[in-house]
Amino acid sequence: MTKVSLFLDVFPPPFIGGAEKSSIQILQILEESGFEVSVHALHSERKTDYRKVKVHKIINLYNPFKSYVVPKIARYFWHILNLLNIFEISRSIFLLKEDRPELVITQNVDTWGFAPLIASRLLKVPTIHFVRDFGAICPTRTMWSQNRNCNIACKKCQFRLQASRMLLKPDVVIFNSHFTKDQYLKQKLFSLSRNVVLYPLIDTQDVLSLTMDKRTAPREWTLGFIGRVSQEKGVEDFLWACTQVNAIAIVAGSGDDQYINLLKEKFPRVKFLGQLGISEFLKQVSVVVVPSLWNEPFGRIVVESCIGKVPLVIAKRGGLIESSTVFNHENYVCLYEDREELMVTLSKLKNASFNEHSEFDVKGSYENFRFMEEAKFKEIVHEIIP
């Protein structure tokens, strides 16, 4: 049986973001295709063994998955060590020699750093690298600094960018959107690799069951946000616009406790629900708002809302617009530029009617789209491993 080594930051649970959901999808496709997959992760909360998953300790100054305050200077040196960590590279080489894979798959460059990519290159094992954020350019992974988007790498990111250009040379790079791909190529990264766009695959079981059950919108007009609760996500703009149009607002997701407490004081009528499954969230909202200020590479919630036939209001940022067009749907999508336009848009939508219960085959449409995306990934893998 052909062996594949898969390096992940987190093997869920927890589901910190969309990357963990995508990881499970990749693993399932590989196993269904007959590959023997060894998974190496640096964090997991699973209480029982799941397939061949090995959870390793992080070799660095601190564990970013632990909730404690880290001094700024420690974070600075953590990121430097993250680029060329000799101990992590040595461990990655040992793991690959133990696995003896014919293919290595990595994603992002957060906690493992560059180690698995450097190790696979030294051992001459073909590598597929998934890119879902801007971590190879910016330590914060967002290219967001001083309340604005960075069109090019700023001075603080130059060292990381130069290191990425020298050290990151996988055989194939799979981006989660054309926007993400263009951003990396603009920075002259991965120019020697084969570059492919493959949209994240959505586990639609909950969302599709919601659609088939004929979702009933809440009696009171309710606007919802789901995701990481942070400044660059535009949560304050969303909550401000909700107060202006006198709408009920719910916020699902986690973030910095101090920032969330600040929002609770500023917007006392808002319901902060913490982590929430996508199905449970969509049941509670009339409209989903994606108010991001930073240029998001892709919007998983955009696709999930389209599948659930829940109306969407999306900021004109990064890959969010692209996310709303990845497959055919009959959903009502509104775009806006700033928070004043968001307020006007929400005001107009308050009395609008949406054809949520149309006979449009959402399930069939998305499954056709998903089938084509899966076929692209399988084709890439089989070109490397005949």
Q: Are residues 8 and 154 in the same domain?
A: yes
Q: Are residues 136 and 220 in the same domain?
A: no
Strands (E), the chain: 3-8, 36-41, 53-55, 103-107, 127-131, 144-145, 148-149, 172-175, 194-197, 222-226, 248-252, 271-274, 287-290, 312-315, 333-336
Q: Are residues 133 and 234 in the same domain?
A: no
Alpha helices in 15-142 (DSSP H): 18-32, 72-83, 86-99, 115-122
Determine the average pLDDT of the residues in 219-248. Answer: 94
Cα–Cα distance measured from residue 330 to residue 362, given in angstroms and rounded to the nearest whole number: 8
Per-residue pLDDT tens digits for 100-121? 999 999 988 888 999 999 999 9
Instruction: Please answer whether residues 27 and 51 qualify as being in contact, where contact means their C-beta atoms are separated by less than 8 angstroms.
Output: yes
CB neighbours of residue 85 within 10 Å: 21
pLDDT at 209 over 80: no
Q: Which residues contact 155 (CB under 8 A, 6 or more apart)?
A: none
Q: Are residues 187 and 224 in the same domain?
A: no
What's the whole-model pTM score? 0.91
Burial 32-44 (b: 16+ CB within 10 A, else e): eeebebbbbbbbb
- The last residue of one of the domains, among 145, 180, 198, is 198
Q: Are residues 317 and 190 in the same domain?
A: no
> CA neighbours within 13 Å on the CB side: how many for 211?
26
Q: Give, in order, the Cα–Cα distances in Å from 57 to each of 64, 85, 236.
A: 11, 14, 36
- The last residue of one of the domains, among 154, 176, 198, is 198
In a domain, 350, yes or no: yes
Tell me, rounded to whole angstroms, the distance of Cα 220 from its chain centroid: 31
pLDDT score recorded for residue 271: 95
pLDDT score recorded for residue 357: 47
CB neighbours of residue 88 within 10 Å: 24
Residue 303: phi and psi, rounded to 5, are -65, -45
Q: Are residues 139 and 93 in the same domain?
A: yes
Q: Which residue has the tokens 């004043």?
A: 340
pLDDT at 326 over 70: yes
For residue 95, give the CATH number of its domain.
3.40.50.11930
For residue 224, give the CATH number of its domain.
3.40.50.2000
Q: Are residues 192 and 294 in the same domain?
A: no
Q: Are residues 166 and 32 in the same domain?
A: yes
Provide the domain count of the chain: 2
Q: Are residues 184 and 217 in the same domain?
A: no
In a domain, 369, yes or no: no
Cα–Cα distance measured from residue 154 to residue 59, given in angstroms and rounded to the nearest whole number: 28
pLDDT at 284 over 80: yes
In a domain, 378, yes or no: no
Count of residues in the chain:
386
In a domain, 229, yes or no: yes
Q: Are residues 220 and 166 in the same domain?
A: no
Tell me, rounded to whole angstroms, the distance of Cα 346 from its chain centroid: 26
Q: Which residue has the higher pLDDT, 291 or 47?
A: 291
CB neighbours of residue 29 within 10 Å: 17
Q: Are residues 221 and 243 in the same domain?
A: yes
- The last residue of one of the domains, among 176, 198, 220, is 198
In a domain, 97, yes or no: yes
In a domain, 92, yes or no: yes
pLDDT score recorded for residue 353: 62
Range of the domain at 134: 3-198
DSSP-assigned beta bridge partners for residue 223: 249, 287
In a domain, 374, yes or no: no
pLDDT score recorded for residue 218: 65
Q: Are residues 187 and 264 in the same domain?
A: no
Per-residue pLDDT tens digits for 375-386? 999 999 999 987
Q: Which residue has the higher pLDDT, 156 or 173?
A: 173
pLDDT at 29 over 80: yes
In a domain, 95, yes or no: yes
